[in-house]
A and B are shown apart, each in its own frame.
Chain A
Amino acid sequence: MSKISRRKLITTGLAATAGASGLAVAAKLGERYGLMPPDSGGLYGAGETLTYAAQRILTRHSLAREFAASQISKEPFANEVAPLGDGFQRLQRSAFADWRLTIDGMVARPASFSLAQLKSFPSSTQITLIACEEGWSYIAEWSGVPLSHILNLVGTLPQVRYVVYRSIQPDWWESIDMADALHPQTLVTHGMNGGELPVPFGGPLRMRVPRQLGYKNVKYITRLTLTDSLKHFGKGLGSASPEGGYAWYAGI
């Protein structure tokens, strides 16, 4: 057997130390500049971190493609959701007149807006594609209030880094970073293809994040929480998706 030479041992030791400290510095820098996703740990954390960091460096301000009216899908597909509960059906009977969107957390002026109030806010319309992680897609015209407008109304505290949003459906919640939350195409959507947003497509209120896959576009949203850390939400992985085995960042 060959003996391990002293030089080899020292070189290997130095390389390992340099590599480990390099990774530690990279992680610190990543944390500092918001390049670490909340599900950056574990077996797949390295891949997720690379993806999220690369997208934040390269595509922070890019706009999702907008399509012509002629390209709107004639047969959009509304994915299945768990059976809607009594609370939802009660609100549905009164045409969602009592549906409210509560905004809390790190805000200067916590607020709760009715559907009518939200519809009175400046509205934005976009014809964008929604793609499911399964592979299918459709194009629709979406109308709603830019999330950034709502965040301005309530006054975001400077340390805020994420917006957590919840569905009226139990255990259905997601979060996005401020790059997506303040993005002009991120809409609190209440209209689709010129009409009300149909219930199967998330009506009365759906979060629309066109630069991420379908599952970040939570249906039936009732609450936004602004926070500087996702550690204390659920299992601390960022949203319900990683808890169910799916990536937190779905921009890929």
Chain B
Amino acid sequence: MGFRPWSEIVGQTAGTAREMPDGPPVSSSVSLPVHNGRAMGTFSQMTDSVAGGTSASAVPATILRPRHSVLVRVTHWLITLSFLALLVSGVEILISHPRFYWGETGNVNTHPLFTLPIPSSRNTVATGYGYVLPDQNGWSRYLHFESAWVAVLTGLFYLAFGFCKGHFRRNLLPARSDLSPKPLAISIGRHLRFKRPSEEEAWSYNALQRLTYLLVIFVLFPLVIWTGLAMSPAVESAIPAAVIALGGRQSARTIHFFVSGFLLLFLFVHVLMVCLAGFRNRVRAMITGRPPQLRSEYEQDLSA
């Protein structure tokens, strides 16, 4: 079953919305509901028709835009693609020297800060394993830097438009009241017990999500880009302070590794939460912009 873009569906009349490919079955005899004298083709109306005439109260009637804006959807998947490429190529580069140092310099003759207990793709690194992995650094480095360009340009585009359109203020800045310890503790407790999110939460991010996304967007990504650039000899020649501030080239490499680890941890938790909240619905919302199917409506519809 193919998906149609949400915008296309919104633009249609309630009558054609019945043909929505993967919505719950809607009888063709359902009359077109008219709520509050709204013009046809608005979001609340279409939801009504899809839901087989249930009350629209679960859905804020004012929402006329898709769950995720085009900006968020496009940049989300571009970052996903480039991040996965950066991850795979980064691991490949890492195994050519799985030792970490602090300061400006470090090599197999110097004492490492720590060593990863993995085999290496270089025979000059003593790993305790009796074999050497094949060298994959050539294409990995090419791919790493090309993906880094995609990620950085996408990120800049996202930041510029996000600020202009009020995306960060509206969708990501947590309300002050949500930041006091009690609601935060409740939210953390719900997450730790793997509670399914409530239906209203399908419409916006909760405070914990907002804080996490802000941390990823404004701390982890800038830090991983900075530490990555600090390992470029040409960038170092132009902006030596960028390396000195981190404590040296090897410190930059070590921080790059840890920040990447945190980003990977975020990816795991993010995907886990998406699965918990309903993988199909959430992924569809991020592709088409169509809001998540509300469970109670779907169940009511099935029982009708």
Q: Does A86 contact B (CB under 8 A)?
A: no
CB-based contact A252/B105 at 8 Å: no
Question: Among A46, A51, A76, A211, which residue has its beta carbon within 8 angstroms of that of B107?
Answer: A76
CB-based contact B104/A75 at 8 Å: no
With both beta carbons as reference points, the residue of chain B lying nearest to A2 in the complex is identified as: B8
- Range class of the B interface residue count: 35 or more
CB-based contact A138/B238 at 8 Å: no
How many inter-chain contacts with C-beta < 8 Å in the A-B complex? 122
CB-based contact B238/A46 at 8 Å: no
A 51-65 contacts with B by CB, 8 A: 51, 55, 58-59, 62-65
Q: Does A131 contact B (CB under 8 A)?
A: yes
Q: Does B154 contact A (CB under 8 A)?
A: no
Main secondary structure on chain B at its contact with chain A? helix
Bound together, the chains give a CA A59 to CA B236 distance in angstroms of 10
A 102-149 contacts with B by CB, 8 A: 129, 131-139
CB-based contact A252/B139 at 8 Å: no
CB-based contact B146/A46 at 8 Å: yes
User: Which residues of B are found within 8 Å of A46, using beta-carbon distances?
Assistant: 146, 149
CB-based contact B234/A212 at 8 Å: yes
Question: Among B141, B148, B235, B250, which residue has its beta carbon within 8 angstroms of that of A137?
Answer: B250
Q: Does B231 contact A (CB under 8 A)?
A: yes
CB-based contact B97/A67 at 8 Å: no
User: Which residues of A are found within 8 Å of B99, using beta-carbon distances?
Assistant: 135-136
Name, among B145, B233, B240, B243, the residue most crowded by chain A CB atoms within 10 Å (CB to CB).
B233
User: Which residues of A are found within 8 Å of B106, using beta-carbon distances?
Assistant: 136-137
Question: Among B107, B141, B142, B238, which residue has its beta carbon within 8 angstroms of that of A62?
Answer: B238
Nearest chain A CB to B88 CB, angstrom units? 14
With both beta carbons as reference points, the residue of chain A lying nearest to B125 in the complex is identified as: A134
Interface size on A, residues (CB 8 A): 44
B 135-179 contacts with A by CB, 8 A: 137-139, 141-143, 145-149
Bound together, the chains give a CA A77 to CA B234 distance in angstroms of 22
Q: B228-252, CB under 8 A of A: which get 1 and which 0?
A: 0001111111101001000001100
Of A9-17, A157-165, A224-232, A242-250, the one with at least 4 CB within 8 A of chain B: A242-250
B 86-134 contacts with A by CB, 8 A: 93-94, 96-97, 99, 104-110, 122-124
Q: Does B253 contact A (CB under 8 A)?
A: yes
A 3-49 contacts with B by CB, 8 A: 43-44, 46-48
Question: Among A47, A75, A135, which residue has its beta carbon within 8 angstroms of that of B146?
Answer: A47
User: Which residues of A are found within 8 Å of B147, using beta-carbon distances?
Assistant: 47
Q: Does A213 contact B (CB under 8 A)?
A: yes
User: Which residues of B are found within 8 Å of A131, using beta-carbon distances?
Assistant: 231, 233, 249
CB-based contact B104/A137 at 8 Å: yes
Nearest chain A CB to B136 CB, angstrom units? 9
With both beta carbons as reference points, the residue of chain A lying nearest to B93 in the complex is identified as: A135
User: Which residues of A are found within 8 Å of B138, using beta-carbon distances?
Assistant: 244-246
Q: Does A94 contact B (CB under 8 A)?
A: no
Name, among A58, A134, A246, A250, the residue most crowded by chain B CB atoms within 10 Å (CB to CB).
A134
CB-based contact B146/A246 at 8 Å: no
A 190-222 contacts with B by CB, 8 A: 210-213
CB-based contact A134/B109 at 8 Å: no
Would A252 and B8 be within 8 Å (CB), given that A64-B236, A77-B108, A246-B137 are in contact?
A: no
User: Which residues of A are found within 8 Å of B253, using beta-carbon distances?
Assistant: 135
Question: Among B107, B108, B110, B231, which residue has its beta carbon within 8 angstroms of that of A252?
Answer: B231
Bound together, the chains give a CA A50 to CA B137 distance in angstroms of 20
A 67-110 contacts with B by CB, 8 A: 67, 71, 73, 75-77, 79-80
CB-based contact B141/A133 at 8 Å: yes
CB-based contact B124/A51 at 8 Å: no
User: Which residues of A are found within 8 Å of B104, using beta-carbon distances?
Assistant: 67, 71, 129, 137, 139
Bound together, the chains give a CA A48 to CA B148 distance in angstroms of 11
Would A245 and B108 be within 8 Å (CB), given that A2-B8, A46-B146, A135-B96 are in contact?
A: no
User: Which residues of A are found within 8 Å of B233, using beta-carbon distances?
Assistant: 64, 129, 131, 210-213, 250-252
A-B contact pairs, 9 of them (CB 8 A): A47-B147, A48-B142, A50-B149, A75-B110, A136-B97, A137-B104, A211-B237, A246-B141, A252-B231
Which 5 pairs of residues, A with B, have the shortest CB-CB distance?
A47-B146, A245-B138, A251-B234, A44-B142, A75-B109
In the complex, given contacts A43-B142, A59-B235, A133-B141, what are 13 additional A-B residue pairs having Cβ atoms less than 8 angstroms apart?
A: A2-B8, A46-B149, A47-B143, A47-B147, A62-B234, A75-B109, A77-B109, A131-B249, A132-B97, A135-B253, A137-B107, A137-B250, A246-B137
